[in-house]
Amino acid sequence: MDQLEKTVSQMKYDNSGLIPAVIVDCKTRQVLMVAYMNAASLVDTVRTGKTHFWSRSRNKYWMKGESSGHTQQVKAIYTDCDKDTLVIEVEQIGAACHEGYYSCFYRQLTDEGDWKVCAERVLDPKQIYKK
């Protein structure tokens, strides 16, 4: 076991062996998405420089952008005081959101207590998975 594998093994994973990763734009610090990593996907994220995750809904290991081409180039990785969360600064190719928005967080809570779209799409979502 090398130093990276040791460090990764010492993170606090949840009961499913996962840790949330907050993906942030390296230039603007905008939060782009939150997804989950297991130890293997975190090691691969560091070694390849591209974000890898574990999908809880599809129960599947995946590299961000593997089908869309919208990969994330890793610039820096941070952890918190509890070592149970990651913040990863990336350079985002295309858009992070499969809906065509640059960030998945494109809805803001209004004073009336409802969600309102607060961003413009940067890509036609129909085109995203044709690349």
CA distance 37 to 56: 10
What is the C-alpha to C-alpha distance for residues 57 and 77, in angstroms, rounded to an integer?
A: 25
* Member of 9, 48, 67, 80 binding a copy of itself (CB under 8 A): 80
| Tokens matching residue 66 | 């593997």
3-state DSSP percent of the chain in helix, strand and coil, to 5: 15, 35, 50
Select from 9, 49, 76, 131 the one that contacts a copy of itself (CB under 8 A).
Answer: 76
109 makes contact with a copy of itself (CB under 8 A): yes
Q: Does 104 bind a copy of itself (CB under 8 A)?
A: yes
Please, what is the end-to-end C-alpha distance for the chain in angstroms?
38
Interface residue with a copy of itself, options 13, 26, 39, 46 (CB under 8 A): 46
Q: Which of 49, 15, 53 is nearest to 36 (CA)?
A: 53
* Closer residue to a copy of itself, CB minimum distance, 118 or 131: 118
**Nearer to a copy of itself by C-beta: 81 or 126?**
81
The number of residues that bind a copy of itself (CB under 8 A) is 40
What's the closest the beta carbon of residue 4 comes to a copy of itself, in angstroms?
A: 3
Q: Which helix (H) or strand (E) holds 8?
A: helix 3-9
Q: Which residues bind a copy of itself (CB under 8 A)?
A: 2-7, 20, 22, 24, 28-31, 33-34, 46, 76-82, 85, 87, 97-99, 101, 104-109, 112-115, 118
